[in-house]
Amino acid sequence: MAEEFKVTHKVITIAGRKLTVSKATFEAQLKRFTLMENAEKQLTGDQPLEENLEALIRRGFTLRTYPSLAACTTGKVFSEADCFKIENDHLELWLATARELNPTWFPAPDETQQENEEKKMI
């Protein structure tokens, strides 16, 4: 019988669904990379990229945020499309919980690239 390992996690309820958000494991990291790679392939078709703010935010969510959320969450995980339909407070709770457990996957929105690099040096 396979040994069970304890992984730090939190159970949250988002739009009526019970989700378990866990601290990153190697398996979750691999899943995250695969989801990011698939998202990149889907977005790099023949369509020209829109440059307005909404398009940039959606692209960032598709390429980084959603794959990271999905990789560290178990339960009946919302699809990326469903994330745009649930209440923002619920999405923010999910994101805050995931960021708390996996801060390197979800840099705070006000941190600049330079601040991130400085933290790595400390």
Q: Are 16 and 93 in contact (CB under 8 A)?
A: no
User: Would you call 22 helix, strand, or coil by DSSP?
Assistant: strand
Find the domain containing 25 and state its range. Answer: 9-117
**Which has the closest alpha carbon to 79: 15, 28, 33, 24?**
15
Has residue 80 been placed in a domain?
yes
DSSP 71-103: HTEEESPPPHHHHTTS-HHHHHHHHHHHHHH-T
pLDDT tens-digit series, residues 58-113: 899 999 999 999 999 999 999 999 999 999 999 999 999 999 999 999 877 665 45
Has residue 83 been placed in a domain?
yes
Residue 6 scores a pLDDT above 70? yes
**Which has the closest alpha carbon to 10: 106, 104, 112, 93?**
93
Has residue 1 been placed in a domain?
no
User: Given this model, what pLDDT does residue 29 score?
Assistant: 96
How many domains is the chain partitioned into structurally?
1
Has residue 19 been placed in a domain?
yes
Q: pTM score, two decimals?
A: 0.79
User: Given this model, what pLDDT does residue 2 score?
Assistant: 61
